[in-house]
Amino acid sequence: MPEQIGRHDKLEQALLALDDRAMVLEELDGFIAGLLVLPEPIPPGEWFASAFGLGKGHRSVFISIDHTNEVLGLVMDYHREIALTLARHPEQYQPRFPIDAFNGDVVWELWIDGFAAAVDLRHERFKAYRQIDGDVADAAVSLMVAIELALDDDRVENAKLDRDAPADIREAVLTLYQYRQSGPPVPTFTNFARQPNPFASFGKVGRNDPCPCGSGQKYKRCCGAN
């Protein structure tokens, strides 16, 4: 366990040392969980580029090939660790939700941001989970609701959803992972009608937006990290 904690600390520091296009560890944890429950595998090159804001015309967040390989190695180790836990010891699986030091609340929003980024890689395929009856559809809907809830600036009307989100997220990930490994193929998405979004809001500072304090950093790496 101390060795595992040391690896996690090393990965966390490596991520924080990058510019703010890169995910922080809580986001990466959710992102990897999303990759592991998507109905189809995503090539590592594709998801690695998404996690670190890489792409044509974008300056790399890494300073050299060696630096890239070092961080990639840490990320792949973390990916394998989560995959093994889900596969062999699902009862031990716990999403990486930090605790707010001021009020003791479980902070799950960064995690769900990372999960949403993975879903965005194959959004239509993920939505196809809703065509499967029972717990699988419920799990997919629960995660989609959490994604929307994280964008809601005023959660007074959705206080129970907010309070239940950490436990619901964990159970939903376990349900989808089990289905992904042992269930029949996920059907092709067949164009669901769009439903009004009860959680839509305007004016919220997104975790990837510039911090309103004027630091020049993204909110998630500045005031949003507290």
Tens of pLDDT, residues 144-173: 999 999 887 666 667 888 889 999 999 999
Q: Which of 37, 39, 71, 73 is nearest to 53 (CA)?
A: 71
Q: How far apart are CA 48 and CA 52, in angstroms?
A: 6
What pLDDT was estimated at residue 217?
60
Q: What is the mean pLDDT of each run of 10 residues along the chain (226 residues)?
A: 77 92 95 97 93 82 93 96 98 95 90 97 95 94 94 72 92 97 79 43 54 58 55
Domain 7-189, CATH class in plain words:
mainly alpha
Show me where the domains of the chain are located.
Answer: 7-189
Taking residue 146's Cβ as centre, other Cβ atoms within 10 Å add up to 24
- Contact present, 113 and 106 (Cβ < 8 Å): no
Q: How far apart are CA 9 and CA 163, in angstroms?
A: 28
CA–CA distance, 142 with 157 (Å, rounded to integer)? 17
Residue with tokens 């305007």: 202
The model carries a pTM of 0.80
Q: Write the DSSP assignment of 193-224 as a string of letters.
A: PP---TT--SS---TTSBPTTSSSSBGGGTGG
Contact 117, 50 (CB under 8 A): yes
Q: pLDDT tens digit string along 118-135?
A: 999 999 999 999 999 899
